[in-house]
Amino acid sequence: MITVIALIVGIVLATPFLLWTRAQPDAGMRLYAVGLGVTALIYLVFALIGGGGGRSLALEAAGVLLYGAAAWLGFRVSTALLALGWAMHVVWDVALHLQGAGAGYTPFWYPWGCVSFDLMVAGAVLVTGAGRERYLARQPE
């Protein structure tokens, strides 16, 4: 039951974020990119607060670098990469924080909320990015 509630909470929290980014078309992709970096940073904070050891801190720092790079490249190069970064963050949530090394310091409900949030944002980035790229392709130089 907690899993279902956490999934619903992720959807509820994603909705205003998506509405906020949609209301700001020029800044929307930047917000999606910054948001991806923040999602990875949250797990690093959990490791710091929850007493994660050196290995866990290094792993979470690597996640910040990995998802930060995906965010930057996605913003600069292709929104499809940004959407992929959000979708792949679900793997990070599940593999590392539900049963992996991060499960010891991550609140047990958090990864499930993150899963639904991440998937909603990945879909929005994919749809918004495709529309944006089609629009930009039609503009005269």
- pLDDT single digits (tens) 17-46: 888 888 776 678 899 999 999 999 999 999
Q: Give me the number of domains the chain comprises.
A: 1
Task: Write down the pTM of the prediction.
Answer: 0.84
Q: What distance, in Å, lies between the first and last C-alpha atoms of the chain?
A: 54
Section 92-116 average pLDDT: 93
Q: Rg of the Cα trace of the chain?
A: 16
Residues spanned by the domain of 65: 2-138
